[in-house]
Structure 1
Amino acid sequence: MNEAEVRAGLPATPQYQYAQQIGDQLFVAGQVPNDALGQIVAHGDSQAQATQCLLNLRTVLAVHGFNTTDIRRLVVYVVGEQAALSAAWAAVAEFFSGRVPPATLIGVARLGYDGQLVEIDATVLKASQSDV
């Protein structure tokens, strides 16, 4: 499971799949700010963690033949106060060059890993030629 993602530089995830494609849709697990060794990056920095989540998301998309223009919806989960949410959002806006797909920014009490401040979930669907 996840051999293609690991070959692309993402950490092994023995208990869950990064993504599963059904037709033109890619169901993607929430992306966390892990490096290739599975370590959380940028402790205490929600902006840098959001950037890492987005880079990991882009890798998952590429492995499955999708790209960021196929993202139809983002959900950005952030631990912390308003400043942390704003910093994470700044990373999202920068990553998409100000053209963010429909998105929701949510403040949460905690996420799955120690030191994790951000997780990003996406709904991904390839555009048909008539949609372009």
Structure 2
Amino acid sequence: MSRAVTLVRSNAPSDVAQYAYAATTPNGARFIFLAGSCPLNEDGTTAGVGDYAAQAAKAVENMHLALEAAGACIEDVISTRVLVASTDRADLVTAWDVVRAAFGDHDVPSTLMGVTVLGYDGQLVEIEAIAAVID
């Protein structure tokens, strides 16, 4: 199956980033804008309270479900924004490492942000994503 997303790599501003700096899609691709994937269990409770890695993993799991419902998969994601409720860079990196591993070789352009608070009780991580598919 042909994918709509093409990742663009660049040496600028540095070679250090763990992701592509840009992504493109052909004309006619259908975009899928996902709401932030939260670390929620089926019963609506927050998973992994106090655990950044566990919450990142649950948010990735829920993102997979949303992508599937929209007729897409993780290789169709064109960009992400990872929100982490912390001012400690180590907490951001903990969440990022889980998200980055989930994407494997599909290293989409991403933004990692520390925020003051997220919407659900005990929520520490949320992942926003945009995907593109060719129908």
Q: Which amino acid aligns with 2:60?
A: L
Instruction: Give CA deviations for 1:50-86 in whole Å, capped at 9, x if unaligned.
Output: 1111110111111121111110000000011111101
**Structure 1: where are the runs of 5+ without partners?**
1-22
Question: For residues 49-88 of structure 1, what are the structure 2 equivalents within 5 Å?
Answer: 49-80=55-86, 81-88=88-95
Secondary structure of 1:73's counterpart equals: strand
Deviation at 1:127, TM superposition (A): 4.8
Whether the 8 Å CA contact 2:50–2:122 is kept in 1: the answer is: yes
Q: Does 2:40 align with 1:42? A: no
Give the one of 104, 114, 135 matched to 1:107. 114
TM-score, normalised with respect to structure 2? 0.74
Give yes or no for the alignment of 1:91 onto 2:95.
Answer: no
The answer on whether the counterparts of 1:70 and 1:127 sit within 8 Å (CA) in structure 2 is: no
Instruction: Give 1:99 deviation, angstroms.
Output: 3.7
The TM-score with structure 1 as length reference comes to 0.75
Distance 1:118 1:98 in 2: 22
SS in 1 for 2:117: coil
Question: Match of 2:31, as an amino acid?
Answer: Q
Structure 1 stretches (4+) deviating beyond 4 angstroms?
A: none
Q: Is the 8 A contact 2:75 2:106 kept in 1?
A: no
1:54 aligns to what SS in structure 2?
helix
2:21 matches 1:31:
no
Q: Which moved more, 1:72-81 or 1:88-97?
A: 88-97
The structure that has the greater radius of gyration is 2
1:30 and 1:97 mapped to 2: Cα distance? 20
Are 2:110 and 1:118 equivalent residues in the alignment? no
- Relative contact order higher in (CA < 8 Å, ≥ 6 apart): 2
Aligned residue pairs, count: 106
Structure 2 residues not aligned, in runs of 5+: 1-28
